[in-house]
């Protein structure tokens, strides 16, 4: 029926009804400006102001999260899930009693929507809410709804009600294309869950799915836990770079940008030191996925996972990745030589290039060659300026504007969360984006898009507006300045906003295919396309202004920044190829011929070129193995498609309204309601994408830009 997840971390499935808007543009109440330029638009000013006045009251009376009354307290998740499960029983009975026809698909979609309204909201809350009680209640709701979903996907009577529709050729021919596709997608969910199996094997499939959900949750938690080491084992002069707790040093990341080689080396070796429990969890997760795939009739989990994607098969994915790797080889070699030369220049006594070096030294090369020291650029990239830039871009390209609204008490989970209404110049309100942008304790260190509620056409003719959350990890403002973004943070903001626009602009009849509910290797196209806008000087020139003086960033600075992105780009892409191939091998033929660490070592040395470091296990931090299992290649394939769309539609004029409207009409509006190959046919001169025919074309477009 559905798959729960996120984008960035990806996927996401619907949730919750919100109260009506309190009024557009009313950002001023409760916000206090600091010493910043006063020439910002309302959106820019709102994001450059410090929230004041309305704080999260943990003890007083409050409304519910996202405006859901039941969720004013953690116990509300049980109420919400019980209501959803009762409605599910009613809808299942109705689906089984309804004669085959379009109404069958509508009931299935309402059934999916009912479960998603709880599951996806809970999927977000379980990792993002600052209160443990809310996180625990949401975790239990996810498990409860997930178990129901797996039971429904093996419910024979429910399956037969849909099968009767698909078996009637005359009826199917009478359906509109979107309804027909949604019916087929629901049937696909049944088939990959083993509906064709006997009763005992169906139960085994349900049990495996539930086990996989639990293992995935455990692996994700373990992937983000810090490692500790006795402090006397680290040189004294680098300890201050980490968190000290008694006699131990806690290391919670790779510190890839640290200028001290020893800090990066220590972080790499300690953070990636193997954890036996996490290793067992990964091995069991991969084994359980393989067992499930074989049980329902697939030779590998990758074959099951890639059904319905642009690539379609793991063989096509490996062909794409190997061809891309071959094309990158010469450039990657040159990049590594350049990085090695910079390390030798700065550290002549230890010039061997190691895996903890490229991110830092490539940054040094960019700064030296193009003079793009982040401290020079950050004052021009205040959060308000960047949000204003997005507002300008979407207004000119799509006729869309942002309006900041004051959330009701209890509607948000942290006082610095901002609520945006997304409004079209003629269509009116399109949906809501909750901006959870700032760092806080226990918040995951990754940028993500979450669907909280998917759009769909309701029975009364109204449209259920989409609601999403964008989660970033930006620094808080200081006493003297608003939040200032590095160029990389600015690009990440644009990327995640691409996902949000996909959700806002999807106008499908069915929530099952709304917005980002589409094949993974297509879902990343809109977000990666936004990176092209973020790296175009014509776009950056529109919003990059000094937060104090309002002065625009000089054109030569914008040009240098955009040019600098090409430095060591091949090495960066080669790293992604390595990750994607590793993911394919882990989800390929089982039993694996070697341990996951031995496979990592072999794949890293073959497809990345830098040596494996003994007693490390990077795969245990590879959290994308959960949400992107067998699909990590999607970033690269989507980049190839996004490159094609950019060159065909926006390269000549990134603000072309006709091209923007066409992009919305032919790609974004359909969500997953059309075959992705048809949606990436961006030109009458270009055929619909067939990866067996056009792999080289897309690689060439991506590399030679």
Average pLDDT over every residue of 339-347: 95
Give the per-residue pLDDT at 700. 52
Q: How confident is the model at residue 51 (pLDDT cuts 50, 70, 90)?
A: low
pLDDT per position as a tens digit, 634-647: 999 999 889 989 99
Q: How far apart are CA 117 and CA 106, in angstroms?
A: 16
Mean per-residue pLDDT of the chain? 88
Mean per-residue pLDDT for 616-635?
95
pLDDT tops 60 at residue 133:
yes
Q: Residue 558's Cα: distance from chain center in Å?
A: 27
pLDDT class of 683 with cuts at 50, 70, 90: very low
Q: Which residues are CB-contacts of 319 (< 8 A; sequence separation ≥ 6)?
A: 691, 695
Q: What is the pLDDT of residue 52?
A: 57
| Separation between Cα atoms, residue 80 and residue 419, nearest integer Å | 23
Which one, of 48, 12, 51, 8, lies nearest residue 29 by Cα? Answer: 51
pLDDT of residue 19: 29
On whether the CB atoms of residues 197 and 137 are closer than 8 A, the answer is no
Cβ–Cβ < 8 Å for 154, 164 = no
Check if 496 is active-site. Answer: yes
| Banded model confidence at residue 11, pLDDT cuts 50, 70, 90 | very low
What is the dihedral sign for C-alpha 350, 582, 642, 389? Answer: negative
φ, ψ (nearest 5 deg) of residue 205: -65, -45
pLDDT per residue as tens digits for the range 134-152: 999 999 999 999 889 988 9
pLDDT, residue 696, reads: 47
At 523-556, the pLDDT tens digits run: 999 999 999 999 998 999 999 999 999 999 998 8
* pTM for the structure as a whole: 0.86
692 has pLDDT over 80:
no
- Whether the per-residue pLDDT at 470 is higher than 70: the answer is yes
What are the tokens at 625?
A: 């193995």
pLDDT for 9 equals 30
**Contact between residue 497 and residue 435 where contact means Cβ atoms under 8 Å apart:** no
Which residues are registered as beta bridge partners of 463? 457
pLDDT in tens, 163-207: 999 999 999 999 999 999 999 999 998 988 889 899 999 899 989
Q: Is 247 exposed, middle or buried (0-12, 13-18, 19+ CB in 10 A)?
A: exposed
pLDDT at 681: 59
C-alpha 48/C-alpha 385 separation (Å) is 8
Distance from the first to the final alpha carbon of the chain:
41
| pLDDT value, residue 60 | 55
**pLDDT score of 561 more than 80:** yes
- Determine the Cα–Cα distance for residues 381 and 473; give it in Å rounded to an integer: 15
Residue 445's pLDDT band (cuts 50, 70, 90):
confident
Give the CB-side neighbour count of residue 174, counting CA atoms within 13 A: 10
Pick from 8-12, 32-36, 114-118, 139-143: least confident: 8-12
- Which residue is catalytic, options 496, 524, 531, 675? 496
**Domains of the chain (ranges plus CATH)?**
65-196 (1.20.1050.40), 371-559 (1.10.1370.40)
Encode pLDDT of 252-272 as tens digits.
Answer: 999 998 999 999 999 999 999
Reading the block at residue 217, the tokens are 């949750």
The one-character DSSP state at 432 is: E
DSSP-derived letter for residue 411 is S
Q: How confident is the model at residue 419 (pLDDT cuts 50, 70, 90)?
A: very high
Residue 294 has pLDDT above 50, yes or no: yes
| Cβ within 8 Å of residue 239, ≥6 positions away | 231, 249
């Amino acid at each position: 029926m559905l798959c729960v997840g996120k984008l960035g971390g990806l996927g996401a499935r619907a949730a919750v009804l919100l109260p009506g808007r309190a009024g557009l543009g009313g950002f001023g109440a409760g916000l206090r400006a600091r010493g910043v330029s006063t020439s910002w638009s309302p959106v820019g000013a709102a994001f450059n102001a410090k929230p004041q006045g309305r704080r999260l009251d943990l003890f007083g009376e409050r409304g519910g999260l996202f405006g859901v009354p039941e969720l004013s307290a953690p116990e509300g998740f049980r109420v919400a899930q019980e209501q959803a499960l009762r409605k599910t029983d009613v809808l299942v009975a109705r689906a089984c009693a309804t004669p085959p026809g379009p109404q069958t698909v509508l009931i299935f979609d309402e059934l999916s929507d009912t479960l998603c309204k709880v599951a996806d909201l809970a999927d977000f809350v379980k990792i993002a809410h600052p209160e443990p009680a809310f996180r625990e209640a949401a975790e239990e709701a996810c498990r409860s709804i997930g178990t129901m979903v797996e039971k429904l996907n093996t419910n024979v009577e429910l399956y037969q009600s849909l099968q009767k529709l698909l078996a009637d050729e005359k009826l199917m021919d009478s359906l509109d294309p979107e309804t027909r596709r949604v019916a087929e997608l629901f049937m696909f969910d049944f088939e990959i869950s083993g509906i064709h199996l006997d009763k005992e094997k169906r139960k085994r499939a349900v049990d495996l799915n539930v086990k996989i959900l639990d293992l995935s949750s455990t692996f994700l938690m373990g992937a983000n836990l810090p490692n500790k080491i006795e402090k006397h084992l680290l040189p004294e002069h680098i300890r201050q770079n980490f968190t000290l707790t008694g006699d131990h040093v806690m290391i919670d990341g790779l510190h890839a940008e640290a200028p001290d080689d020893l800090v990066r080396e220590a972080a790499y070796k300690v953070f990636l030191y193997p954890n036996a429990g996490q290793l067992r969890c990964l091995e069991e997760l991969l084994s359980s996925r393989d067992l499930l795939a074989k049980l329902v009739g697939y030779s590998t989990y990758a074959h099951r996972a890639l059904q319905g994607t642009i690539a379609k098969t793991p063989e096509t994915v490996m062909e794409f990745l190997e061809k891309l790797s071959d094309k990158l080889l010469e450039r990657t070699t040159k990049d590594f030589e350049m990085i090695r030369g910079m390390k030798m220049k700065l550290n002549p006594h230890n010039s061997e290039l190691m895996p903890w070096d490229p991110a830092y030294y490539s940054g040094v090369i960019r700064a030296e060659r193009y003079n793009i020291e982040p401290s020079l650029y950050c004052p021009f990239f205040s959060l308000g300026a960047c949000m204003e830039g997005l507002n300008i871009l979407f207004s000119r390209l799509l006729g869309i504007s942002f309006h900041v609204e004051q959330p009701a008490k209890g509607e948000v989970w942290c006082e610095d969360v901002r609520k945006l209404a997304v409004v079209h110049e003629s269509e009116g309100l399109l949906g809501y984006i909750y901006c959870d942008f700032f760092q806080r304790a226990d918040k995951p260190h990754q940028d993500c898009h979450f669907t909280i509620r998917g759009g769909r056409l309701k029975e009364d003719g109204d449209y259920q507006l989409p609601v999403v959350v964008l989660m970033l990890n930006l620094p808080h403002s200081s006493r003297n300045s608003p939040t200032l973004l590095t160029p990389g943070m600015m690009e990440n903001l644009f990327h995640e906003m691409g996902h949000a626009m996909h959700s806002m602009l999807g106008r499908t009849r069915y929530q099952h295919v709304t917005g980002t509910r589409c094949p993974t290797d297509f879902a990343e196209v809109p977000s990666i396309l936004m990176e092209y806008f973020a790296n175009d000087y014509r776009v950056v020139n529109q919003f990059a202004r000094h937060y104090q003086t309002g002065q625009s960033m000089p054109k030569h600075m914008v040009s240098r920044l955009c040019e600098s992105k090409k430095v060591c780009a091949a090495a960066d892409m080669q790293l992604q190829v390595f990750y994607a191939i590793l993911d394919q091998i882990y989800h390929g033929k089982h039993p694996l011929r070697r341990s996951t660490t031995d496979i990592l070592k072999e794949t890293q040395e073959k497809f990345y070129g830098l040596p494996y470091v003994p007693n490390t296990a990077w795969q245990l931090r590879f959290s994308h193995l959960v949400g992107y299992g067998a699909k990590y290649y999607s970033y690269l394939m989507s980049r190839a498609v996004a490159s094609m769309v950019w060159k065909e539609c926006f390269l000549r004029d990134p603000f072309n309204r006709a091209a923007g409207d066409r992009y919305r009409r032919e790609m974004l509006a359909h969500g997953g309601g059309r075959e992705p190959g048809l949606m990436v046919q961006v030109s009458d001169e270009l055929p619909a994408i067939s990866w067996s025919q056009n792999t080289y074309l897309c690689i060439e477009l991506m590399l030679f830009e």
